[in-house]
Structure 1
């Protein structure tokens, strides 16, 4: 039986994830997922592609505030600004607006990253249309609201890595929101077009084409490549370039989802797709 094996959200884009046993799923994904992001002086998002040490920054939302922790520096406790002037920001090709979280957050992040940085929050009136087979919306995620992976796909990948004499990689290298278990065949998720899990229904937008971030050790914030990208390149090349692992999905029905919930696939891709 297909079930939810893991759930996680990422309060600050590019920073450490927060595993949870249950989550509310909104139109933009798991509640507070990518609600914040770190930007440079021009408003462009900072990610682990250039700043792998972001993985060691752990955001802890609580009671309307946000605590940021990182090795070697004092914790920073912030009162989150939900209203205020909008700043121009960008997530790669998407351009929008965000609410700056102030000088203290900017100074703290600039120190940790060694480069001028600011912390931005999604505004209450945030509007963003995401593309794909089934379009939707998202916060500051790269594109779609939710990333789904499966334990069988990771097992299949790690078997291939081991055959080449490499070490297995953990699931957190791929930074998924929902991890499913119960299938035996790797990459069965590729054919899912609609997914019902808990109270939630999701719709397929696209395959997840992976950047170099899965080569970053999420515990140390250091590049530990070339795996898993090297092995994925041997059998998971995308037609448009890059390699794939997992699927991106839009939220069609909001609600609650729990670890252990049964997952059902009401619609699969047609066999000729």
Structure 2
């Protein structure tokens, strides 16, 4: 029987996640998931891809306050601005706006990254429609409301990495929102089309094409490649380019979820062509950056 093994949300895009025992699934995913992001004064989005140190930032939403901490940095707590001065945002085919947060947060991130940075949050009128096989809504992830992965997928990957004399990787390298346990076969999440998780219902949008973020140690913020991308390239190549791990989903019906809740799949698709072994050579850094960092 498939069950939820882990629930994680990421308050600030590209920063560390927070595991929770239970949560309410909204139209845009888990509450407070990627509702803030760091940008440049020119509205360029700053992520782990060029700035892996962001992985070490531990954000917490405390009611109307946002707490930020990172190794070697003084902790900061600021009030959350629900509205105010805005900055344009453009990502994954969506153009919108974000609300400028406290200037002290801008200074904190600028000092961490060694470049001018600003922290923005969702506007009260935030509206972003996502595509894929099942359309939906989202906050500031690269793609969709939820990223789903299974323990069996990670187990199979780590077995292959070990066979190549590499070091296994933890699930946090892939930054999922929902981790599913209990499927005997790996990558069953790719074939699930409509699922009930807890009392929520979600629908498959697309496979998650991975960039170089899984090669970053999420505890230290250090680049630790070439795994797992090197091994994924041997058997998880997408026909559209890059490698895939996990699936992105839209929320069809909001509801409650908790670790231990049963996962019921109402409809399945056939096997994905990306599960076939890839013969051509693959360059790890060339994968399309489409994951929810």
TM-score of the two chains, using structure 2 as the length reference = 0.91
**8 Å Cα contact 1:44-1:91 kept in structure 2:** no
Deviation at 1:84, TM superposition (A): 1.1
Which residue number corresponds to residue 106 of structure 1? Answer: 106
Q: How does 1:228-243 map to 2 (within 5 A)?
A: 228-243=228-243
Which residue number corresponds to residue 65 of structure 1? Answer: 65
Deviation at 1:102, TM superposition (A): 2.6
**8 Å Cα contact 1:44-1:92 kept in structure 2:** no
Deviation at 1:71, TM superposition (A): 1.1
Which residue number corresponds to residue 167 of structure 2? Answer: 167
Distance change (3 Å), C-alpha of 1:65 and 1:186:
same
Deviation at 1:23, TM superposition (A): 0.8
What is the CA–CA distance in structure 2 between the aligned matches of 1:42 and 1:70, rounded to whole Å?
25
What is the CA–CA distance in structure 2 between the aligned matches of 1:115 and 1:51, rounded to whole Å?
11
**8 Å Cα contact 2:150-2:187 kept in structure 1:** yes
Which residue number corresponds to residue 262 of structure 2? Answer: 262
Q: How does 1:98-177 map to 2 (within 5 A)?
A: 98-177=98-177
What is the CA–CA distance in structure 1 between the aligned matches of 2:242 and 2:4, rounded to whole Å?
28
**8 Å Cα contact 1:23-1:31 kept in structure 2:** yes
What's the secondary structure of 2:138's corresponding residue?
A: coil
What is the CA–CA distance in structure 1 between the aligned matches of 2:85 and 2:199, rounded to whole Å?
36
What is the CA–CA distance in structure 1 between the aligned matches of 2:214 and 2:124, rounded to whole Å?
31
Which residue number corresponds to residue 198 of structure 1? Answer: 198
What's the secondary structure of 1:54's corresponding residue?
A: helix
Deviation at 1:92, TM superposition (A): 4.7
Deviation at 1:44, TM superposition (A): 2.0
Deviation at 1:270, TM superposition (A): 4.8
Deviation at 1:72, TM superposition (A): 1.1
TM-score of the two chains, using structure 1 as the length reference = 0.98
Provide Cα deviations, 1:69-107, integer angstroms capped at 9, x if missing partner. 011111111000001132111225422101000311111
What is the CA–CA distance in structure 1 between the aligned matches of 2:172 and 2:73, rounded to whole Å?
24
- The two structures, once aligned, show a CA RMSD in angstroms of 1.2
User: Which structure has more strand as a fraction of its residues?
Assistant: 1
What is the CA–CA distance in structure 1 between the aligned matches of 2:63 and 2:129, rounded to whole Å?
29
**8 Å Cα contact 1:42-1:89 kept in structure 2:** no
Deviation at 1:253, TM superposition (A): 0.5
Provide Cα deviations, 1:32-90, integer angstroms capped at 9, x if missing partner. 00000011121121111000000001101112100000111111110000011321112
**8 Å Cα contact 1:198-1:256 kept in structure 2:** yes
Deviation at 1:267, TM superposition (A): 0.9
**8 Å Cα contact 1:12-1:33 kept in structure 2:** yes
Q: Which runs of 5+ in 1 are unaligned?
A: none
What is the CA–CA distance in structure 1 between the aligned matches of 2:41 and 2:81, rounded to whole Å?
19
What's the secondary structure of 2:130's corresponding residue?
A: coil
Provide Cα deviations, 1:154-208, integer angstroms capped at 9, x if missing partner. 0000000000000100000000000000011111111110010101000010000
Which residue number corresponds to residue 52 of structure 1? Answer: 52
What is the CA–CA distance in structure 2 between the aligned matches of 1:271 and 1:47, rounded to whole Å?
32
